[in-house]
């Protein structure tokens, strides 16, 4: 999502509020379209589609107003994304974890995750990074999994 | 060349067979020793609900007979659909069971009504044992000038569509019995769904609606304090905690019978021996005085049924509820 | 009065027995630890602990659980202040100014004021519970769907009234939150809305993963993404204690927050989050320098923290006096005593005086324990900030994933948290306020449901909102506030909000 914004050719003149306002408007239209599936009901007996429709109209109206009044806001191109690249890597790391957690088990996944973050991304010294990763994954599993008895995922090899 | 290839195949086949044998030997050994590690009992509702307070003592006592720990795992979500689906799709090795409520039969029927991709189907389950079955009890706000079902029906008839009742949500465990009652008496009332059994009762206590169907345990304290008046029960016989409350059956409504039941089920396809071990453990648990005592404390007497009986009971119940869901239909199409 | 005193003595004789005291301590400590886990809040804490209490006697069970509850409320504010990670919905407001204070090196005072405010609010709550429980409980029951609708509408109007930056943006974000709240099964009709075929979304989107994502993850993305790690803070002892000025500024917000929180807390339903929002709004309006809010105003910590703790005690009023579960937390508590064969109901206080008064007394004890436990701990907590950020943030991320996963044992919440983290990051880049999203999300299902319930009760007649005095009063008040808040928009008079808006646009 953020990548799109980042790489979109920054047209001169488009203001940040105009941009975000139109995004909101687009969101409202999208929701309104999805909402066609649900019956609206009546004012006396609102159906499941009633409130979402009102909200879509409301968000759309707000988006439009933000866009219209947004002429004085900073230009879209002026918003800098210095941290976007790294943020994407961090997000990607979390997403990988969310998919690996159940098949690989908690301890292996979190250990690998921390090794990646501390060792590769942040380039900490290997020994402390290793100890922190190992300690964190084992101790947190012990506290949450064993003491609080939350059934945290285990690997097929049993731990 | 050909011969060589054939030899390799043979060799490969031998190896393959050996591996297969070895692999099949592992589960066979495991079966002999079933269970040889922790079992889990999935509860499709959050801690503290009926399913949970039934599952905890069941799991605790079953441990005694299975000689392995039984961990209760809450998997709440979507009115039980998430947890039920988790049981349905579990590996049928006997290590995953579920303590499910009668709502398990309503969800697929509602999915069908709304043309949804069903979360699970009922034939994915293998019943193990019925643990408890509580009838719901119709309660009214004490300011309502009715003491019997006859008076209630007369009052509701005198102002059709004016009285309102609360429920635990549409197609929920407390909505179904009310629809059954309204269908049998041809009454019309306003339906005010709430987010659960507790809020449904609170709505009656505050006088915001006139009546609801309540679980015997949940209403007990309020009935004792005369803040709620019990009128009639959906049970087959009178509930031991409410000996003065007649049943619909007694009063001539033959088909009005409804229980919120809790049963132990597993995924379909468990090996016969495993299922037998679990059934035996469940039976011994149900007969255990310690267990009976724990269940009596939550006002939910043990109603044990073994798998075949339970299956028959469940099938009949599911059929009745599915029919009822169709009658209720979608709200907007009325 | 004499009777109350005697009863209280009975209560203390129960609560001060060594066994109970140990459990109260244990509960507070476990609760604080659980609350400090990102993603795990009071509800998750007591749900996890509930099964362990089945083997105990009912008084011990409820004392332990209420200790966990209080402790988790407090622990949640610790992570909110130090890392901008709300442990539960009510801490969302604490995040804003609390974390801003941390960035300015004032984490110590923020934590100390939060502890003192919570203690005071908790004590006010217990006194209210003790003296007024039966009276207030009757009042609480009069809150039906129409009153609830009015209350929630008022909450939204106040949101508009208190909005910080651009009001349009605030309202748009509230709308977005309300929209996210529409996801899930509509219990009035049975339709599953906007679930994209995921069964797990049937219950809707939980507030905890959303709050952790929007506030916590987005903060990590913004800070860690920069590549160069922020300087490690080395708090000095002098910086741990609130200054005289900070104390002076906090007295009013704590008092008002406690009263407000208690009143909102006794209303059945889960509207407790409103108390912290409303408190924040009131303090901002009453302040002579509203522009300080959002940039580390101590009042913005003191008010909402007191309000949410007072609401927590307020919620026990209908639970104990009437035996009705008014929130998920009290529902779990009721389950804890029901398994011991005690049926909750209006007779609970008479039939189980030891339970009730023991519980009341243990709440006093619990509050003192928490204060004693946490004030000295402020130093320890603040020292967590000495951990280099490069080590801290991966561990915090792992904690967030672990915490959100543990609540329902499902991956869906983790995904929601991550999506919200990305969304929060982008929205902050575009100068949008995130708190209204959280408020909207919590209010949406309740508002829609109570509105439709009201109409179901009246058969579609909107007159039901004008026949009931409580509902009418609240709606009227809300509309007046709303008109006040849009006055500057219509008459183009420049008020403080415009200044703040400009400030925030620049910053």
Q: Is A53 on the interface with C (CB under 8 A)?
A: no
Top-confidence residue, C332 or B48: C332
CA B193 to chain centre: 20
| Residues contacting C335, CB < 8 A, separation 6+ | B47, B48, B49, B52, B53, C50
Query: DSSP secondary-structure letter at A115?
Result: I
Q: Across A13-27, C182-196, C415-429, which has the greatest mean pLDDT? A: C415-429
What are the φ/ψ torsions at residue C161 (nearest 5 degrees)?
-65, -35
Q: What is the 3-state secondary structure (H, E, C) of chain B?
A: CHHHHHHHHHHHHHHHHHHHHHHHHHHHHHHHCCCCCCEEEEECCCCCCHHHHHHHHHHHHHHHHHCCCEEEEECCCHHHHHHHHHHHCCCCCCCEEEEEEHHHHHHHHHHHHCCCCCCCCHHHEEEEEEEEEEECEEEECCCCCCCCHHHHHHHHHHCCCCCEEEECCCCCCCHHHHHHHHHHHCCCCEEEECCCHHHHHHHHHCCCCCEEEECHHHHHHHHHCCCCEEEEECCCCCCCCCCCCCECCCCCCCCCCCEEEEEEEEECCCCHHHHHHHHHHHHHHHHCHHHHHHHHHCCCCEEEEEHHHHHHHHHHHHHHHHHHHHHHCCHHHC
Fold of B137-257: D-Maltodextrin-Binding Protein; domain 2 (3.40.190)
CA within 13 Å, CB half, B5:
2
The 10s digit of each residue's pLDDT in B191-216 is 998 888 888 888 999 899 999 998 88
Which pLDDT score, from 0 to 100, does residue B248 have?
94
pLDDT at A80 over 60: yes
Instruction: Give the confidence band of C504 by pLDDT, cuts at 50, 70, 90.
Output: very low
Check CB contact under 8 Å for C394 and A122.
yes
pLDDT at A6 over 60: no
pLDDT at C171 over 70: yes
- Taking CB atoms and an 8 Å cut-off, how many pairs form between chains B and C? 164
Q: Is B69 on the interface with C (CB under 8 A)?
A: no
pLDDT at C425 over 90: yes
Question: What residues are paired with A15 via a beta bridge?
Answer: A75
The 10s digit of each residue's pLDDT in A84-121 is 888 899 999 999 999 998 889 899 999 999 999 888 88
Instruction: Give the confidence band of C41 by pLDDT, cuts at 50, 70, 90.
Output: confident
Q: Considering CB atoms only, which of C51, C188, C322 is closest to B56? A: C51
Q: The domain B33-133+260-328: what is its CATH number? A: 3.40.190.150
Give the minimum alpha-carbon distance from A44 to chain C in angstroms, rounded to a whole number.
Answer: 4
Instruction: Give the confidence band of A3 by pLDDT, cuts at 50, 70, 90.
Output: very low
pLDDT > 90 in chain C, percent? 14
Q: Is C423 on the interface with A (CB under 8 A)?
A: yes
Which pLDDT score, from 0 to 100, does residue C235 have?
63
ipTM: 0.88
Which pLDDT score, from 0 to 100, does residue A114 have?
93
Top-confidence residue, C133 or C183: C183
Hey, which chains touch A, using 3+ CB pairs under 8 Å? Answer: B, C
Element (H, E) at C33: helix C18-36
pLDDT at C247 over 60: yes
Which pLDDT score, from 0 to 100, does residue C258 have?
93
Instruction: Give the confidence band of C230 by pLDDT, cuts at 50, 70, 90.
Output: low
Which residues of chain C neighbour B96 with C-beta distances below 8 Å?
none
Which pLDDT score, from 0 to 100, does residue A1 have?
40
The 10s digit of each residue's pLDDT in C178-223 is 999 999 888 888 888 888 878 778 778 888 889 899 998 999 998 8
For chain B, list residues with pLDDT below 70.
1-32, 331-334
Q: Considering CB atoms only, which of B75, B193, B220 is closest to C343? A: B220
Domain boundaries, chain B: 33-133+260-328, 137-257
Check CB contact under 8 Å for A39 and B73.
no
Helices and strands: H and E segment counts in chain C: 23, 2
Interface test with B, best of A39, A42, A151, A158 (most B CBs within 10 A): A151
Give the minimum alpha-carbon distance from B261 to chain A in angstroms, rounded to a whole number.
Answer: 26
Mean pLDDT of the C155-171 span = 75
Which pLDDT score, from 0 to 100, does residue B141 have?
95
pLDDT > 70 in chain C, percent? 91
- On the question of a common fold for B33-133+260-328 and B137-257, the answer reads yes
| Residues contacting B276, CB < 8 A, separation 6+ | none
Q: Is B76 on the interface with C (CB under 8 A)?
A: yes
The 10s digit of each residue's pLDDT in C268-278 is 776 677 888 88
Which pLDDT score, from 0 to 100, does residue C134 have?
74
Query: DSSP secondary-structure letter at C248?
Result: H
> 3-state DSSP call for residue C352?
coil
Check CB contact under 8 Å for A47 and B73.
no
Which pLDDT score, from 0 to 100, does residue B9 have?
44
Longest dimension (CA), chain A: 68
Q: How many CB atoms lie within 10 A of CB B249?
A: 18
């Amino acid at each position: 999502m953020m990548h799109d914004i980042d790489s979109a050719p920054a047209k001169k003149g488009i203001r940040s509020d105009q941009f975000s306002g139109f995004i909101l408007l687009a969101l409202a239209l999208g929701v309104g379209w999805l909402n066609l599936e649900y019956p609206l009901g009546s004012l006396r007996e609102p159906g499941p589609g009633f409130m979402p429709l009102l909200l879509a109209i409301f968000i759309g109206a707000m988006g439009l107003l933000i866009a219209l009044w947004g002429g004085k806001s900073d230009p879209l191109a002026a918003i800098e994304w210095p941290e976007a690249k790294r943020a994407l890597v961090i997000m990607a790391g979390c997403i990988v974890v969310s998919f690996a957690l159940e098949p690989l088990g908690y301890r292996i996944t979190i250990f690998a995750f921390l090794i990646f973050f501390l060792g590769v991304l942040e380039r900490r010294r290997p020994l402390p990074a290793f100890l922190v990763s190992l300690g964190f994954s084992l101790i947190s599993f012990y506290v949450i999994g064993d003491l609080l008895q939350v059934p945290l995922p285990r690997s097929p090899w049993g731990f | 060349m050909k011969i060589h290839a054939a030899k390799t195949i043979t060799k490969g086949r031998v190896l393959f067979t050996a591996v297969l044998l070895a692999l099949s030997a592992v589960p066979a050994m495991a079966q002999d020793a079933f269970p040889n590690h922790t079992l889990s009992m999935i509860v499709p509702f959050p801690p503290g609900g009926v399913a949970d307070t039934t599952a905890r003592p069941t799991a605790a006592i079953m441990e005694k007979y299975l000689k392995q720990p039984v961990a209760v795992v809450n998997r709440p979500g979507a009115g039980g659909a998430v947890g039920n689906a988790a049981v349905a799709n579990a590996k049928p090795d006997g290590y995953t069971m579920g303590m499910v409520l009668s709502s398990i039969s309503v969800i697929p029927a509602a999915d069908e009504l709304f043309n949804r991709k069903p979360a699970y189907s009922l034939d994915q389950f293998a019943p193990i044992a019925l643990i408890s079955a509580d009838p719901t009890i119709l309660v009214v706000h004490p300011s309502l000038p009715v003491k019997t079902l006859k008076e209630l029906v007369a009052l509701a008839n005198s102002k059709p569509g004016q009285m309102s009742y609360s429920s635990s949500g549409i197609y929920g465990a407390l909505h179904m019995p009310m629809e059954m009652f309204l269908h049998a008496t041809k009454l019309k009332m306003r339906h005010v769904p709430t987010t659960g059994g507790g809020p449904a009762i609170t709505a009656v206590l505050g006088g915001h609606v006139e009546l609801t169907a309540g679980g015997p345990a949940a209403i007990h304290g309020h009935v004792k304090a005369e803040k709620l008046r019990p009128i009639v029960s959906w049970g087959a016989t009178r509930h031991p905690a409410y000996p003065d409350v007649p049943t619909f059956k007694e009063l001539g409504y033959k088909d009005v019978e409804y229980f919120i039941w809790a049963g132990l089920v597993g995924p379909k396809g468990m090996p016969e021996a495993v299922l037998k071990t679990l059934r035996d453990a469940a039976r011994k648990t149900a007969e255990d005085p310690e267990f009976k005592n724990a269940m009596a404390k939550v006002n939910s007497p043990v109603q044990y049924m073994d798998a075949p009986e339970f299956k028959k009971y469940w099938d009949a119940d599911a059929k009745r509820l599915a029919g009822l869901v169709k009658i209720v239909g979608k709200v907007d199409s009325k | 009065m004499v009777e109350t005193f005697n009863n209280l003595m009975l209560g203390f004789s129960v609560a001060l027995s060594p066994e109970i005291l140990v459990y109260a301590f244990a509960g507070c400590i476990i609760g604080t630890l659980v609350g400090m886990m990102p993603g795990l809040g009071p509800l998750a804490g007591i749900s996890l602990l509930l099964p362990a209490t089945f083997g105990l006697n009912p008084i011990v069970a409820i004392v332990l659980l209420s200790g966990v509850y209080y402790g988790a409320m407090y622990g949640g504010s610790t992570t909110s202040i130090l890392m901008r990670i709300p442990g539960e919905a009510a801490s969302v407001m604490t995040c804003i100014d609390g974390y801003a204070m941390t960035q300015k090196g004032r984490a110590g005072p923020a934590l100390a004021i939060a502890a003192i405010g919570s203690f005071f609010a908790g004590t006010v709550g217990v006194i209210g519970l003790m003296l007024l429980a039966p009276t207030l409980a009757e009042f609480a029951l009069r809150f039906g769907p129409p009153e609830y609708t009015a209350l929630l509408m008022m909450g939204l109007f106040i949101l508009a009234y208190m909005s910080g930056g651009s009001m349009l943006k605030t309202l748009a974000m509230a709308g977005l939150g309300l929209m996210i709240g529409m996801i899930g099964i509509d219990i009035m009709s049975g339709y599953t809305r906007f679930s994209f075929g995921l069964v797990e979304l049937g219950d809707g989107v939980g507030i905890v993963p959303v709050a952790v994502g929007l506030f916590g993850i987005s903060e990590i993305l913004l800070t860690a993404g920069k590549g160069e790690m922020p300087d490690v803070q080395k708090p000095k002892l002098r910086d741990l204690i609130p200054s005289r000025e900070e104390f002076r500024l906090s007295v009013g917000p704590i008092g008002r927050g406690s009263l407000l929180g208690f009143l909102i807390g006794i209303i059945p339903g889960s509207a407790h989050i409103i108390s912290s929002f409303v408190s924040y709004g009131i303090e901002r309006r009453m302040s002579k320098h509203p522009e300080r809010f959002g940039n580390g105003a101590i009042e913005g910590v003191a008010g909402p923290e007191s309000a949410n703790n007072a609401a927590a005690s307020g919620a026990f009023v209908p639970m104990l006096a009437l035996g009705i579960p008014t929130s998920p937390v009290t529902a779990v508590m009721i389950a804890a005593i029901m398994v011991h064969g005690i049926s909750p109901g209006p007779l609970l206080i008479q039939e189980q005086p030891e339970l009730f008064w023991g519980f009341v007394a243990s709440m006093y004890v619990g509050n003192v324990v928490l204060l004693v436990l946490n004030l000295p701990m402020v130093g320890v907590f603040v020292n967590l900030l000495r951990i280099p950020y490069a080590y801290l943030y991966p561990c915090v991320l792992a904690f967030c994933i672990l915490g959100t996963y543990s609540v329902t044992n499902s991956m869906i919440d983790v995904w929601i948290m991550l999506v919200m983290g990305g969304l929060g990051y982008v929205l902050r880049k575009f100068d949008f306020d995130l708190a209204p999203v959280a408020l909207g999300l919590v209010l949406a299902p309740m508002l829609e449901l109570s509105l439709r319930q009201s109409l179901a009760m009246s058969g579609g007649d909107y007159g039901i909102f004008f026949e009931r005095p409580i509902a009418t009063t609240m709606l009227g008040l809300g509309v007046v506030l709303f008109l006040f808040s849009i006055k500057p928009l219509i008459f183009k008079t420049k008020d403080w909000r415009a200044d703040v808006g400009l400030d925030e646009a620049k910053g």
